[in-house]
Structure 1
Amino acid sequence: MFIKHLEKHTDAFYLCALGDDKTWVSSCLRGSFKYSPLNRLTFKNFYRYYYSLKYVVSPAYAYLDRYAVKKAKAIIAGLDDYFLAYKDLPNVRLIRLPISRDHFVQPKYKDLEKEPLVIFHAWQKGKELKKGNDILHEAALSAVRKYGEKKIKYVIASGLPYEEYLKAYNDCDIYLDQVYSYDGGVTAALGMAAGKVVFSGYELFAEYSGKAPNSIKNVGVNASSNLAQLEESLFYIIENTHVLDDLKHKAYFYALNNYESIMIAEKYIDVWTEGEK
């Protein structure tokens, strides 16, 4: 009914693929990805995935999914995960998330002989199974135990208002986001825009170098649910300051070229303009 209401007031209807829906949840359950936020789903904990599973068990959501896809002049995915889920449908585009220019901050380079390296963990309470925060937490604690609290400062942010959250990661060097996504999402984009080394989804990116662990990509770290791999990448970056600084630099400029809000707005306008022809 809402879509029909929109059709009365606009000549073009577009579908934003950026969140749980039948197409994406079905792709996860079919094993279309090597891993996904539904990886830890079991019979015992299925109730904690109700928000996602309702899209595949309800005939109403299945109908809505087909109806929206049929009506849309184009499908605009905001992350690699959603683009891959929809890629076999016609007229699917990938336009990344918009980050305001206000949130872009040149990377800060520290003398780690004089001040501690700060690990910031963006922990969304209640989403541990989908994000893997518990695994990231164990990796961070391992780093603190290995190098000591004088060298490593570990900060956890959870349940903060948005403005406080933005301030909380300002001084960090390494930004822990999630382990079960192919792409990063808003929190990873914010971290990159602030010149941080982000542990998140970089599945489709190239490696940083032949010497570094394979999970270290050219603009961030492709976080794994494998604790040993997480620790390997984290320890390598801590012990190789030049890698830390280089990744900060590359992350910032990647975000500037791929997430800056005015540029993203222009991409949306281009798609809408094409739809009017």
Structure 2
Amino acid sequence: MRFLLVGEYSRLHNSLKEGLEKLGHEVIILGFKDGFKNFPVDFPLVRKWNSGILKKIRLAVLRLTGFDISSYLTYRQFLKNKSQFEQFDAVQLINENSFFCNYYFEKKIVNHIFKNNKKVFLLSCSDDYLNVQYNFENPQSKSGIQPYLEGKIKDKDNLSVLKFRTDSFRKLHQYIYSNCSGIIASDFDYDAPLKGNPKYLGVVPNPINTDLLKEEKLEIKDKIIIFLGVNRENCLKKGVDFFEKALQEIQKKYPEKTEVIITENVPYNEYIHCYTKAHILLDQCYAKDQGYNALEAMAKGKVVFTGAEQEFVGYYNIKEPVAINAKPDVAYLVEKLSFLIENPEEIKAMSKRARAFIEKEHNYIKVAEKYLAIWKNN
């Protein structure tokens, strides 16, 4: 069978493609390379007029005329190869705004996809209309909306989220929702907003290529090595400020026992090598479930501070922790880090549990089989 995967944020679609190909299917990825992360894409799109002086000109034209040059140029790139994106057995959109266009051009692109393929599915694995609406209506629920509501993030720095509260993106949501064959959530951060929705097909775990990501046996010699990879564009949304403050306290408390490695905005292939010698990886504070970075680090046997709330624990019937449930609380993070530093045997034990969990629940071929079943039966 032939499948088209639209969009790439975290290597999710690349790992799914690898799993589907192992099962004998043909898979094409269309989309952007996600900025500096530079993920592989079969048909790469480039966001134009999106930085420097050209971005300022684009925004000025947009304010004056309502015409978005960047969206138009993305649409032109799609049209150039549109025949390549037809006659697939199933298409999966990674988001309601997979092409980063305004309503007019995004609808034109997805309309072509709907009309020229057998089935189209929508993946909820980042901000979208229903997810953003739910998080604003439930501010006590762990999400990247919380730091915005606390005034840490300005409107102009949160447009990728706030756009889903506008009428145009509500209309785009309704259009995609009414035409797609179903919606899949990648983890429990996206499950609650979809519960009870007739098009919701459930959670399918993120696929992790456990053949490529080998387990790295943890050896603890003189120091506990802690890694923090910073993406400045969304660091407040991830709670990186809490991690940075906690690390300052840990370095004062355990100067002879710890080593801290911090990287900033590095490409994916470089990023996963940066934390090779780390024992502990700090991922994010505002999640209920693990994101892709956390899962890949767990596959390599790291102890990861990330989302591991009760929804996750209950669903997978976790008896002993496979990750540390991070919270936006410096004292809490210092307490959890201190325990691990003073009990290195628990680091080794959790490392093994993390790898075993990924192999059981996130193996890319097993996950690809779950996607296939959903695509065939809906």
TM above 0.5: yes
Describe the shift of the 1:125–1:217 C-alpha distance in structure 2 as closer, same or farther (beyond 3 A).
Answer: farther
Aligned-residue offset at 1:53: 0.5
| Whole-angstrom CA distance in 2 between matches of 1:59 and 1:178 | 30
Higher RCO, 1 vs 2 (CA within 8 Å, ≥6 residues apart): 1
Question: Is it true that 1:236 corresponds to 2:339 in the alignment?
Answer: yes
Equivalent residue for 2:204, pick from 95, 101, 116: 95
| Whole-angstrom CA distance in 1 between matches of 2:266 and 2:218 | 26
| Whole-angstrom CA distance in 2 between matches of 1:46 and 1:217 | 40
Find the counterpart in structure 1 of residue 132 from structure 2: 25
What letter matches 2:129 in structure 1? Answer: K
Structure 1 regions of 5+ residues with no counterpart? 208-215
Find the counterpart in structure 1 of residue 192 from structure 2: 84
| Whole-angstrom CA distance in 2 between matches of 1:33 and 1:268 | 32
Question: Is it true that 1:134 corresponds to 2:255 in the alignment?
Answer: no
What letter matches 1:135 in structure 2? Answer: F
| Whole-angstrom CA distance in 1 between matches of 2:212 and 2:241 | 27
| Whole-angstrom CA distance in 1 between matches of 2:189 and 2:313 | 17
Is the 1:103–1:193 contact (alpha carbons within 8 Å) kept by the matching residues of 2?
Answer: no
Is the 2:139–2:145 contact (alpha carbons within 8 Å) kept by the matching residues of 1?
Answer: no
Q: Which moved more, 1:10-19 or 1:84-93?
A: 84-93
Find the counterpart in structure 1 of residue 361 from structure 2: 258
What letter matches 1:109 in structure 2? Answer: L
Is the 1:124–1:159 contact (alpha carbons within 8 Å) kept by the matching residues of 2?
Answer: yes
Find the counterpart in structure 2 of residue 170 from structure 1: 276
| Whole-angstrom CA distance in 1 between matches of 2:343 and 2:304 | 16
Is the 2:289–2:309 contact (alpha carbons within 8 Å) kept by the matching residues of 1?
Answer: yes
Secondary structure, in 3 states, of the residue corresponding to 2:284? coil
Kindly provide the CA deviation profile for residues 58-87 of structure 1, in whole angstroms up to 9, marking residues without a partner as x. Answer: 211001112222222221111211122212
Kindly provide the CA deviation profile for residues 103-153 of structure 1, in whole angstroms up to 9, marking residues without a partner as x. Answer: 432242324xx32111010211121220111111111221111111x3211
Find the counterpart in structure 2 of residue 192 from structure 1: 298
Is the 1:107–1:248 contact (alpha carbons within 8 Å) kept by the matching residues of 2?
Answer: no
Describe the shift of the 1:261–1:202 C-alpha distance in structure 2 as closer, same or farther (beyond 3 A).
Answer: same
Question: Is it true that 1:226 corresponds to 2:329 in the alignment?
Answer: yes
Runs (4 or more) in structure 1 with deviation over 6 Å come to none
Describe the shift of the 1:84–1:220 C-alpha distance in structure 2 as closer, same or farther (beyond 3 A).
Answer: same
| Whole-angstrom CA distance in 1 between matches of 2:305 and 2:285 | 8
Find the counterpart in structure 1 of residue 29 from structure 2: none
What is the number of equivalent residue pairs in this alignment?
263
| Whole-angstrom CA distance in 1 between matches of 2:308 and 2:156 | 29
Aligned residues: percent identity?
A: 29
Secondary structure, in 3 states, of the residue corresponding to 2:225? strand
Question: Is it true that 1:71 corresponds to 2:179 in the alignment?
Answer: yes
What letter matches 2:119 in structure 1? Answer: A
Is the 1:86–1:92 contact (alpha carbons within 8 Å) kept by the matching residues of 2?
Answer: no
Q: Within 5 Å, which residues of 2 pair with 1:31-70?
A: 31=138, 34-42=141-149, 45-56=154-165, 58-70=166-178
Is the 2:307–2:324 contact (alpha carbons within 8 Å) kept by the matching residues of 1?
Answer: yes
Aligned-residue offset at 1:206: 4.3
Kindly provide the CA deviation profile for residues 23-53 of structure 1, in whole angstroms up to 9, marking residues without a partner as x. Answer: 1111110116522101122467222211101
After TM superposition, the score normalised by the length of structure 1 is 0.89
Structure 2 regions of 5+ residues with no counterpart? 1-107
When the two chains are superposed, the root-mean-square deviation of aligned CA atoms in Å is 2.0
Aligned-residue offset at 1:193: 0.6
Aligned-residue offset at 1:255: 1.1
Find the counterpart in structure 2 of residue 143 from structure 1: 250
| Whole-angstrom CA distance in 2 between matches of 1:46 and 1:20 | 15
Is the 1:103–1:190 contact (alpha carbons within 8 Å) kept by the matching residues of 2?
Answer: no
What letter matches 1:87 in structure 2? Answer: K
Q: Which moved more, 1:187-196 or 1:36-45?
A: 36-45
Secondary structure, in 3 states, of the residue corresponding to 1:224? coil
Aligned-residue offset at 1:97: 1.4
What letter matches 2:234 in structure 1? Answer: K
Is the 1:122–1:158 contact (alpha carbons within 8 Å) kept by the matching residues of 2?
Answer: yes
Secondary structure, in 3 states, of the residue corresponding to 1:81? coil
Kindly provide the CA deviation profile for residues 163-221 of structure 1, in whole angstroms up to 9, marking residues without a partner as x. Answer: 111111111100000101112211101111110000011113449xxxxxxxx961111
| Whole-angstrom CA distance in 2 between matches of 1:236 and 1:17 | 35
